[in-house]
Amino acid sequence: MTLTRNLIATALFTAFASGSVMAQDVRIGIASEPYPPFASPDASGNWVGWEVEIIDAVCTAANLDCVLTPVAWDGIIPSLTGQQIDAIMASMSITEERQKTIDFSNPYYNTPAVIVADKSAEIDATPQSLAGKIIGIQGSTIHQAYADTYFGDAAEIRVYQTQDEANQDLVSGRIDATQADSIAMADFVASDAGSCCEIKGNVANDEAILGQGVGAGVRKGDDALRDQINAGIAEILENGVYDEITARYFNTSIMAE
CA dist., res. 195 & res. 206, Å (int): 29
Provide the pLDDT for residue 75.
97
Q: How many domains in the chain?
A: 2
The answer to the question of residue 126 being in a domain is: yes
Strands 156-160 and 134-138: parallel
Pair (35, 63) in one structural domain? yes
Query: Which residues touch 176 (CB under 8 Å, ≥6 apart)?
Result: 117, 118, 121, 123, 130, 133, 134, 135, 170
Pair (117, 37) in one structural domain? no
Pair (86, 28) in one structural domain? yes
Pair (91, 47) in one structural domain? yes
Q: For residue range 171-215, what is the model confidence (pLDDT) as tens digits?
A: 999 999 999 999 999 999 999 999 999 999 999 999 999 999 999
Pair (101, 165) in one structural domain? no
Pair (87, 42) in one structural domain? yes
The answer to the question of residue 49 being in a domain is: yes
Q: For residue range 45-70, what is the model confidence (pLDDT) as tens digits?
A: 999 999 999 999 999 999 999 999 99
CA dist list (Å): 102 to 4, 30, 226: 27, 16, 11
Provide the pLDDT for residue 12.
32
Provide the pLDDT for residue 172.
98
Domain of 64 in residue numbering reads as: 9-109+212-247
Provide the pLDDT for residue 11.
35
Tell me the CATH number at 87: 3.40.190.10
Q: What is the pTM of this model?
A: 0.82
Provide the pLDDT for residue 25.
86
Q: For residue range 75-121, what is the model confidence (pLDDT) as tens digits?
A: 999 999 999 999 999 999 999 999 999 999 999 999 999 999 999 99
Provide the pLDDT for residue 9.
37
Q: For residue range 211-242, what is the model confidence (pLDDT) as tens digits?
A: 999 999 999 999 999 999 999 999 999 999 99
Q: For residue range 13-32, what is the model confidence (pLDDT) as tens digits?
A: 333 333 333 455 899 999 99
CA dist., res. 188 & res. 167, Å (int): 8
